[in-house]
Structure 1
């Protein structure tokens, strides 16, 4: 077993958790308006702001003022992932920790709906940012909820996506990213896929009590900084089954699902939005990691090769498609 993998098999319950959750995410798309229409019409997000190069969207139960920023680019892919600190003090402690690594960044202002952001890249080159100050969502007369403990009114259309769930990145060096997540960001590895020589091939990390928030999978191309998918949570499995019909009628490419993953037990549907990015609709919120001394679940290559918990065999493009595209 490698040195990178060994320390992450058991979480240290004495370690302070400096990050609260995954915040908003930026997504690059070569078809800005078509991608916007997909997220608004099929996924039921709401457009809340736009500028010369981007459109901001909001899921109905996100307390933050925006959830997803679509940015016009020649190639699809992942932009910056924002991570909210657990407190202002936690943000300062985390900045001090990151600054002592080769991945030190800088403080920046000017992000819509966010205060100061400490911007840095993970070991694979994916842009990230830690923040504390955030504008909360303020509904207008058209989406004021009946329940005051809800951010916005239930949309009642399309897939009725409730919130952003997780991001799955591609990386050329899973062990290096795993060490950064655990040792620098203080995240916790809940599950992983291990090669026959004991090295991590894919990792699932959580920041709070959700089963996972940040996922990294080995990039078969050897490239850096690519995206496998971003995932949005629904309330029920039935929402995902309905979403399959919604995507079918809209002519959206359904890659695979609905099926159930063995790893993390996620019920899922994968589609490709018009810009080419893979999007997952998932229902994993009922499974929480409550044990403070959780032991990482390791899956062997042979166990992973058995496929899903149930459903059809994993389609080949699930292992080969990522954004931006590479030759």
Structure 2
């Protein structure tokens, strides 16, 4: 195993596209419990109460759904330039952008499936207004208790037509480590979980059953404990939010999960405390077989068919 590379510090934010902007915004603020930190002509910047940056979710008006881009923060300016050099040598760079109200200049590039990423270092740290100022100095915003009141962004999952190509790309472009994966009997890599730091994963890719490139599976925010996930289920129920599956415990990565659809159809998850920590520098990838996955989730709940077919933007005639 190669020496871990920590040029990339953490997952920073996800831009989510919605064709039902006001309904989606109401969901993320009043039901999911994010806080608006700013807005421009087409987007609202949202954050969980324990995120330190200006935002972790950028909700953008669109005529479609899915992901606009994914942002990772580099560990330093020098680390950013090292990654940019590697990415340009790989031939997948788009180029520099000026950034937005949440961070400085960023370098954009695409993965083999066409998803857009950006790397940045200069960022805007959240400064809470008086109504959101915490009592303690070591958090950026007070706990407000609104809706589910998610704590912080944890990870996201993207769909891919070729997970093996993604595995090679993520390791080289971001220095990510593969912590767990799913290998089918046919030899096809069906899922891969990556980390750039000591969390077990910050992004996962799973095979798109429709064969459509560039689609979004879900974004996940963390809560403190399982009881919070159960409370979230009741909040979603009372607000007529469609619950797709859970609460239950994943076998892969072990998170206690609950999946719902926000009003535009993008899948959103809440989980307890997020990913585990990997302190072992020589961690060996855990491989789950096809027979392993047929057993279902950790306590036997079968994976529902829509988990393999529903993604955004939707694919016409896909069975969900």
The answer to whether the Cα contact below 8 Å between 2:154 and 2:275 also exists between their aligned partners in 1 is no
Q: Which has the higher contact order (CA 8 A, sep 6+)?
A: 1
Alignment partner of 2:55 out of 66, 71, 78: 66
Q: CA offset at residue 15 of structure 1? A: 4.2
Residue 238 of structure 2 is aligned to residue 249 of structure 1: yes
Task: Write out aligned runs for 1:191-202 (5 A).
Answer: 191-202=180-191
Q: Deviations over 1:50-93 (max 9, x none)?
A: 22211111110111011111111111101110011111110000
1:267 aligns with 2:256: yes
TM-score, with normalisation over the residues of structure 2? 0.96
Q: Distance in 2 between matches of 1:197 and 1:102?
A: 30
Please point out which of 279, 286, 291 is paired with 1:297: 286
Match of 1:99 in 2: 88
Counterpart for residue 136 of structure 2: 147
SS, match of residue 90 in structure 2: coil
**Aligned residue among 194, 198, 201 for 1:205:** 194
Distance in 2 (alpha carbons) for counterparts of 1:18 and 1:298: 26
Q: Which runs of 5+ in 2 are unaligned?
A: none
Question: 1:198 & 1:183 partners in 2: Cα distance?
Answer: 22
Partner residue, 1:128: 117
Counterpart of 2:107 (choices 110, 118, 132) is 118
2:184 is the alignment partner of 1:166: no
Q: So what's the TM-score if we normalise by structure 1? A: 0.94
8 A contact 1:84–1:130 mirrored in 2:
yes
* Runs (4+) off by over 6 Å: none
The CA distance in 2 between the partners of 1:184 and 1:249, in whole Å, is 43
Find the counterpart in structure 1 of residue 307 from structure 2: 318
5+ residue gaps, structure 1, are 1-10
Structure 1 Cα separation of the partners of residues 119 and 40 of structure 2? 23
Q: Deviations over 1:87-146 (max 9, x none)?
A: 111000000000001212211104221111001111110010000000100001100001
Shift of 1:311: 5.4
